[in-house]
C-alpha cells in the first residue's frame, strides 16, 4: 500500500522506496518504534512482517516530528496489532509460486502473549525446472530471486506498563548463472550471487511514572549483512 502513495516510486533492484524524489537513504523505516533498514522484500511486494501481525501502515512524506531524526525523504511505519489473542491460532500460507510460511500466536497469561512467524520463498525450487525447460529453446541464463524472514514477539502489559521484546530477521538475494568460457564449475556456468539482510532484537518499554509523567524507550541491537559472490559455485 505504501508504494502506491502519491510521490512514491519503487527503486529497481532494491528493497527501499523513493519518496518525493529523495534518495532511498534519506527515508526511514520503522516497525512500531523499531528502526529497520528496509520493510519490503524484492519478491511480490511483501513486507518483512507477516500480514497476520499488522494493523496499519503510517506514511508521512514530510513535516514529521523530531523523533524521526536524520530523515529528509519520508517515514513509513508498520504498526503491529496491539490486542492480546483470545486463543491459540496457527496459519499456514502457501502463495504459489512465491513463498510458503507459517504464523502462530497464543496468549500466555492474562497479561502476556507471544507470536512467531517464518516465511521462505519457493522460487528457488520452482524456477530451475522452468528455466531448464526454457534452455532447450536457447535460453541458457538462470536468474533466481529469493527471500527469507522470521519474526518473533513476546508482550507483557498491565494498566501501568507495557514491554514488547521483538526479533526480526530478513534476507533478500539474487543468483545469476550464465554460460561462460571462464566458468569455474563443471557445468560451464559463471555464477554471481548478491544478498543483503538484517537481524534486529529490540525491547520496547513504556509506562507511567505518575499522573503527569510517562516514559517510552526502545533499546535495540541490529546486525546488517551484505554479500556478493562473483564466480563462486552456487549451492
- Tell me the per-residue pLDDT of 65-90, one tens digit each, with 9 for 90 and over: 777 777 778 888 899 988 889 999 99
- Percentage with pLDDT > 90 across the chain: 36
Which one is predicted more confidently, 102 or 125? Answer: 102
| Res 233: pLDDT | 45
Residue 42's closest CA among 113, 189, 146? 146
Query: Is pLDDT of 235 > 60?
Result: no
Query: Is pLDDT of 206 > 70?
Result: yes
Output the pTM of the full model.
0.82
Of 14-28, 159-173, 199-213, the one with minimum mean pLDDT is 14-28
Q: At 98, is the pLDDT very low, low, confident or very high (cuts 50, 70, 90)?
A: confident
Query: Is pLDDT of 230 > 90?
Result: no
| Res 199: pLDDT | 96
- Tell me the per-residue pLDDT of 21-76, one tens digit each, with 9 for 90 and over: 677 677 888 999 999 988 888 877 788 899 899 999 888 877 777 777 777 788 88
Amino acid at each position: 500500500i505504501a508504494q502506491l502513495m502519491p510521490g512514491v516510486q519503487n527503486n529497481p533492484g532494491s528493497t527501499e522506496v523513493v519518496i518525493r524524489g529523495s534518495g532511498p537513504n534519506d527515508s526511514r523505516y520503522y516497525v512500531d518504534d523499531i528502526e529497520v533498514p528496509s520493510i519490503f522484500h524484492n519478491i511480490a511486494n511483501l513486507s518483512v512482517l507477516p500480514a497476520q501481525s499488522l494493523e496499519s501502515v503510517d506514511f508521512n512524506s514530510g513535516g514529521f516530528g523530531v523523533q524521526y531524526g536524520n530523515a529528509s525523504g519520508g517515514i513509513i511505519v508498520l504498526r503491529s496489532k496491539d490486542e492480546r489473542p483470545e486463543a491459540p491460532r496457527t496459519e499456514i500460507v502457501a502463495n504459489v509460486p512465491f513463498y510458503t510460511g507459517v504464523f502462530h500466536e497464543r496468549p500466555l497469561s492474562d497479561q502476556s502473549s507471544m507470536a512467531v512467524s517464518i516465511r521462505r520463498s519457493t522460487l528457488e525450487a520452482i524456477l530451475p525446472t522452468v528455466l531448464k525447460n526454457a534452455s532447450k529453446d536457447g535460453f541458457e541464463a538462470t536468474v533466481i530471486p529469493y527471500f527469507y524472514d522470521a519474526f518473533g514477539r513476546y508482550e507483557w502489559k498491565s494498566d501501568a506498563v507495557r514491554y514488547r521484546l521483538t526479533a526480526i530477521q530478513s534476507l533478500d538475494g539474487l543468483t545469476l548463472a550464465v554460460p561462460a568460457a571462464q566458468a569455474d564449475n563443471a557445468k560451464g556456468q559463471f555464477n554471481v550471487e548478491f544478498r543483503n539482510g538484517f537481524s534486529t532484537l529490540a525491547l520496547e518499554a513504556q509506562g507511567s511514572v505518575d499522573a503527569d509523567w510517562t516514559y517510552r524507550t526502545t533499546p535495540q541491537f541490529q546486525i546488517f549483512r551484505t554479500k556478493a559472490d562473483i564466480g563462486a559455485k552456487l549451492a
